[in-house]
Chains A and B, each alone.
Chain A
Amino acid sequence: AQSVTQLGSHVSVSEGALVLLRCNYSSSVPPYLFWYVQYPNQGLQLLLKYTSAATLVKGINGFEAEFKKSETSFHLTKPSAHMSDAAEYFCAVTMGPYGNNRLAFGKGNQVVVIP
């Protein structure tokens, strides 16, 4: 079954610095990939998604991610961190209709923004 790996549960970044969260997927064929953000006591909100139309995907709040098949990766970046970016971030994968639309999540990264 498809899966994603996110390393490093906690990520600290200075305000204004680059945010980089890593996600690697495991799948026999290129899957569809998502990044979700979760603020305290909230559900998950979609940041961006890769559906094979373009390898560089732009999302909300200035985030973007690049799909690299050769590295089986879908890392999330933001050039300049803002205090409001403090949240938990989850990478997720699905095979779409070919996998019954099953959606599997990584363990998440808790992002702390240091003033």
Chain B
Amino acid sequence: EAGVAQSPRYKIIEKRQSVAFWCNPISGHATLYWYQQILGQGPKLLIQFQNNGVVDDSQLPKDRFSAERLKGVDSTLKIQPAKLEDSAVYLCASSFSPGGYIPEAFFGQGTRLTVV
């Protein structure tokens, strides 16, 4: 089975520029997560989708970050404008979560963003 696909793997941009990341989850996985992982820290949940609806975006800086999951499959995460502190690895994960089943999240390789 194909894993979670993310692109690009690496991105370098200047502050105040915009950037977008793409994620294709494992086929059939209803739940999709975007995490931000700053160097030396654990992943921090930015946004969680169930199909194409948002379940949790409480830690998403909505003044500059946005995400969508059209048709409940692929997802994009956008930053506009970027700040230096946005330098991090952005991880996408997905899980198959029917009722009563404890989900196991599968992760992509991540996108390493450097803002200069």
Residues of A within 8 A of B (CB): 6, 9, 32, 34, 36, 41-46, 49, 51, 90, 94, 96-97, 100-108
A76 to B69, CA, bound (A): 35
Number of B interface residues at 8 Å Cβ cutoff, please give it: 31
Is the pair A108, B56 in contact by a Cβ cutoff of 8 Å?
no
B100 to chain A, nearest CB (A): 6
- Inter-chain contacts of B100 with A (CB < 8 A): 97
A-B pairs with beta carbons under 8 Å apart, 21 shown: A6-B42, A9-B40, A34-B104, A41-B112, A42-B110, A43-B91, A43-B107, A44-B107, A45-B107, A51-B102, A100-B48, A101-B48, A101-B55, A101-B95, A102-B56, A103-B45, A103-B93, A105-B35, A105-B42, A105-B43, A108-B41
Interface contacts beyond A43-B107, A103-B45, A103-B95: sample of 5 additional A-B pairs, CB < 8 Å, sorted by A = A42-B109, A45-B107, A102-B55, A102-B56, A108-B42
Which residues of B in the span 76-116 have a Cβ within 8 Å of any Cβ on A? 91, 93, 95, 97, 99-110, 112
A103 to B91, CA, bound (A): 13
Residues of B within 8 A of A (CB): 4, 31, 33, 35, 40-45, 48, 50, 55-56, 91, 93, 95, 97, 99-110, 112
Q: In the complex, which residue of chain B has the Cβ closest to the Cβ of A106?
A: B42
